[in-house]
Structure 1
Amino acid sequence: MKDDREDMLFSASVVARLPLATFSIGLLVHVEQLSGSYTAAGAVAGALAVAQGAGGPLLGRLVDRRGQTVVLLSSATVAGAGLIAVAMMPAGTPLPALLALAALIGLATPPVGACMRTLIPVLRPGADSRRRAYAADAAATELTWVSGPPLALGLGALAGTGTALTAAGMILIAATALFASSRASRGWQPTRTRRARVSALASPDMRTLVTVMIGVGVVFGATEVAVTASAGPAAGLLLGLWGAGSLAGGVAATRLGGGATDGRRFALLLAALGVGHLLLVAASARVIVAAALIAVAGSMIAPVLASSYAMVDSAAPAGTATEAFAWLATATAIGTAGGAAAGGALADLAGPASGFVLAGAAGLVAAVVAVTRISGSPAPQPAAAV
């Protein structure tokens, strides 16, 4: 019975995160149709990304102080209502109104993923079981990013972009409510310590993890631009294979123990991530070879993410786990934005494949940071009782 409840909780968290993977592309396409301007659409997508990066840690910290239920329900309601409001806006809506709504949606994006990961040490107290659960969660996250945008674009093409945004908002509210109403989420209690009042970034180990994940984000952003610039019509296929490789890597990591257990092994995964993307430089002109290599390079993504999640158990100050998980997501988003911007500039200056050099270098730098500043196996902290 317990396993059935855990499966339902995990499934609800995945469904609740599926709309999150559609926010950016959904708003981009819809605003372009409303305004007729990709500049306006890009500005709205940028406002969403900035607000999500700022709002995630803030909501995570609020969860660490007040519990999951109220924060998840209220934030999902606001974000879902914001999506539906954008969907109902008429053509010619002033850009400031759309920017304000995008910022509201970003700030209120419910931290379902961070909350799910906070519950994992409670549901799976054993170290091996916990690492496997983090790996499964990382694989599920990849599944949402692989399937979410095509679903949003497909529904938008069939029924209109407004309908796609409305559906995303309704699913977000319903699935988040299902997750938040579960026994595990309702029963989770914040750790009542003085350290819970400090930020997760007060820990040097957390700052190191955040630095590493910024580097991982650069890998993502630079690769997306390099693939788009170098592969032409095949870019969509290659990016899909990249995500599928990550999903496969997450499944394999789940079965093989869940990823790295210390800084040295974590650094090896990061180095493999960097080298795998660096090899794409030589294959960028041959689609078939690039297809094989990008799937292999992607297979390191989910294991790297799972390993970083597992290290939060020992890196974050007691009582700040949800905020810590949110900071990892924010760090990745910051790195992705920076990698995309730098990759675009490099593509203009040195050719489209130069983005792969940046991606590979970022992975290797992250590996150096990990091997020099993370050591030992993570020691789990006492979990809050359910």
Structure 2
Amino acid sequence: MTRIDFSGYRDVLRTPGAPWFTIAGWVGRFPRGTLNLGIILLVQAATGSFALAGAVAATYIVGIAVAGPLWSRLMDRRGQRPILLIAAGTLVVSSTALVGAVLGESPVGFWFVLSFLAGAVSTDVGPAVRARWSSLVPGDRRHSAFALESIADESVYVIAPPIVTLAAAIWAPQIGIAVVVVVGALGMIWLGLLHRSQPPLVRASERRVRLLPPAGILPVTVAWVGVGAMFGSFDVTSVAWAERAGSPWLAGIMMAALAVGNTVGALVYGAMRPRASLRVRWLVGSALLAVAALALPFAADTPLALLASAVVGLLIGPVLVAGYALVESRADRERVTELLAYPSLGLGAGIPLGSTFAGVGLDAAGPVLGFTVMAASCVATLVLGATGELLLSARPAKVPVRVP
């Protein structure tokens, strides 16, 4: 029988320096959590097109995903401190340039270039914090530590989206963007200065030039194309659903509903002590998520969409925690930060697919098609993950792959 024990959170937070780098990492997540929403609001206000707004915002996420493993590799080799300090500065400069281009009515193609660059020159602090946990806590407590990080990920979505949407409604979209960028940059600087908890550098004798991840990382990375498509379609659909309801500020509430569900799901899952393997937990969670998401299109034009979003969030939390834990368990010790960034690569590949398809559907028929794309994305997560694990199990025995 599965036990639920919340003491694991207390134990990991007693790790020296853990409360401080956890808080700093949480603050540093603000741009990743909501800058794409700010871009959607900015571009939609300037052009009136959800499809264009979703595409420009997705390009930002693609930039993060493509450059993420490279930034994380640099952290493994050079240390987190210099990389995070550089990223804080480039985040401010690149996001300011993007806002200026949209407000200045420069050519639309230039918006995509700047959006991609804004993502590419920024770094995701999530792998940096998870690498600290991996270095500091024993294996039997990483389950709770990674759940804590998923809670940090999603609590940002509870707080930041309402701030961005309210700022856009009261003042202007660029004000919301400015708030999250400044807060995020301060968090990156703070995390970079907390050098005592940083994982040790890889010594020169240990360095091996390997550009591709181990095979065991690929099922999660590919499956999270579906997770990214779900998030991408959800962001743009939330804005359209709120506008259809006549209250644009409800977009932030809907995003918070999914994030609250995600936070609760990750919190409870992190307190569980299941006996099943990480692989089984991940696939079962993906199956439950796919089934629940099928209800979304039926609630598209009703207030029940808020409840349906919360239920999907409740189930995506365990999927994210189990996925990160599975990747960490299969990662080479000298590449932990880098390999923990690969799921974000899958997310980044999926977000433009989800936001683009949902944007086209929203322009044509409203929220019902947007939520349909979201449901299909959750089903794709299960199909891609199960197929990847099946192919991994079928690999020749002479190729060693750790499969927890």
TM-score by length of 2: 0.79
Q: Percent identity?
A: 24
Give 1:217 shift: 2.5
In terms of mean alpha carbon deviation, does 368-377 or 45-54 score higher? 368-377
Q: Which amino acid in 2 is paired with 1:149? A: P
Give the structure 2 partner of residue 271 of structure 1: 287
Give the structure 1 partner of residue 131 of structure 2: 118
Tell me, yes or no, if structure 1 residue 181 matches structure 2 residue 193. yes
Give the structure 2 partner of residue 319 of structure 1: 334
Give 1:55 shift: 1.5
CA-to-aligned-CA distance 1:158-199 (integer Å, 9 cap, x gap) = 454444333333322221111011134556323656564212
Give the structure 2 partner of residue 57 of structure 1: 69
| Aligned partners of 1:203 and 1:316 also within 8 Å | yes
Give 1:238 shift: 4.4
Q: Which amino acid in 2 is paired with 1:121? A: S
Which whole-Å CA distance do the structure 2 matches of 1:82 and 1:300 have between them?
A: 35
| Aligned partners of 1:84 and 1:169 also within 8 Å | no
Tell me, yes or no, if structure 1 residue 364 matches structure 2 residue 364. no
Give 1:253 shift: 1.5
For residue 227 of structure 2, the aligned residue among 216, 225, 245 is: 216
Give the structure 1 partner of residue 321 of structure 2: 306
In terms of mean alpha carbon deviation, does 278-287 or 46-55 score higher? 278-287
Tell me, yes or no, if structure 1 residue 8 matches structure 2 residue 20. yes
| Aligned partners of 2:354 and 2:374 also within 8 Å | no
Give the structure 2 partner of residue 383 of structure 1: none
Which whole-Å CA distance do the structure 2 matches of 1:138 and 1:22 have between them?
A: 16
Which whole-Å CA distance do the structure 2 matches of 1:195 and 1:154 have between them?
A: 48
In terms of mean alpha carbon deviation, does 213-222 or 83-92 score higher? 83-92
Give the structure 1 partner of residue 121 of structure 2: 108
Structure 2: unaligned runs, 5 residues or longer = 1-12, 394-400
Q: How does 1:34-183 map onto structure 2 within 5 Å?
A: 38=49, 44-86=56-98, 91-95=103-107, 98-125=111-138, 127-183=139-195
| Aligned partners of 2:296 and 2:372 also within 8 Å | no
CA-to-aligned-CA distance 1:11-38 (integer Å, 9 cap, x gap) = 00000111322222223434566x5564
| Aligned partners of 2:216 and 2:403 also within 8 Å | no
Aligned pair in 2 of structure 1 residues 181, 187: CA closer, same or farther (>3 Å)? Answer: farther
For residue 207 of structure 1, the aligned residue among 218, 225, 231 is: 218
Give 1:132 shift: 0.6
Give 1:312 shift: 1.9
CA-to-aligned-CA distance 1:320-358 (integer Å, 9 cap, x gap) = 222222221120121232234345567759963643551
CA-to-aligned-CA distance 1:277-321 (integer Å, 9 cap, x gap) = 123355556543x54443222211121111111112232334222
In structure 1, the residue corresponding to 2:202 is in which secondary structure?
coil
Give the structure 2 partner of residue 247 of structure 1: 263
Aligned pair in 2 of structure 1 residues 271, 178: CA closer, same or farther (>3 Å)? Answer: same
Aligned pair in 2 of structure 1 residues 119, 85: CA closer, same or farther (>3 Å)? Answer: same
| Aligned partners of 1:246 and 1:298 also within 8 Å | yes
TM-score by length of 1: 0.82
In terms of mean alpha carbon deviation, does 323-332 or 231-240 score higher? 231-240
| Aligned partners of 1:225 and 1:343 also within 8 Å | yes
Q: How many residues align?
A: 375
| Aligned partners of 2:55 and 2:356 also within 8 Å | no
Give 1:118 shift: 1.0
| Aligned partners of 1:29 and 1:41 also within 8 Å | yes
Aligned pair in 2 of structure 1 residues 373, 193: CA closer, same or farther (>3 Å)? Answer: farther
Give 1:98 shift: 4.5
Root-mean-square deviation over aligned CA pairs: 3.5
Which whole-Å CA distance do the structure 1 matches of 2:164 and 2:306 have between them?
A: 24
Q: Which amino acid in 2 is paired with 1:210? A: T
Give 1:133 shift: 0.7
Which whole-Å CA distance do the structure 1 matches of 2:237 and 2:38 have between them?
A: 22
In structure 2, the residue corresponding to 1:319 is in which secondary structure?
helix
Aligned pair in 2 of structure 1 residues 92, 113: CA closer, same or farther (>3 Å)? Answer: same
Give 1:142 shift: 0.9
Which whole-Å CA distance do the structure 1 matches of 2:102 and 2:60 have between them?
A: 20
Which whole-Å CA distance do the structure 2 matches of 1:334 and 1:90 have between them?
A: 24
Aligned pair in 2 of structure 1 residues 229, 100: CA closer, same or farther (>3 Å)? Answer: closer
Which whole-Å CA distance do the structure 1 matches of 2:354 and 2:112 have between them?
A: 23
Q: Which amino acid in 1 is paired with 2:289? A: L
Tell me, yes or no, if structure 1 residue 330 matches structure 2 residue 342. no
Aligned pair in 2 of structure 1 residues 229, 207: CA closer, same or farther (>3 Å)? Answer: same
In structure 2, the residue corresponding to 1:300 is in which secondary structure?
helix
CA-to-aligned-CA distance 1:208-229 (integer Å, 9 cap, x gap) = 2211212332343455567777
Give 1:377 shift: 8.0
CA-to-aligned-CA distance 1:90-129 (integer Å, 9 cap, x gap) = 943523655444333211112311101111112212x231
Give 1:5 shift: 2.2
Structure 1: unaligned runs, 5 residues or longer = 380-386
Aligned pair in 2 of structure 1 residues 40, 225: CA closer, same or farther (>3 Å)? Answer: closer
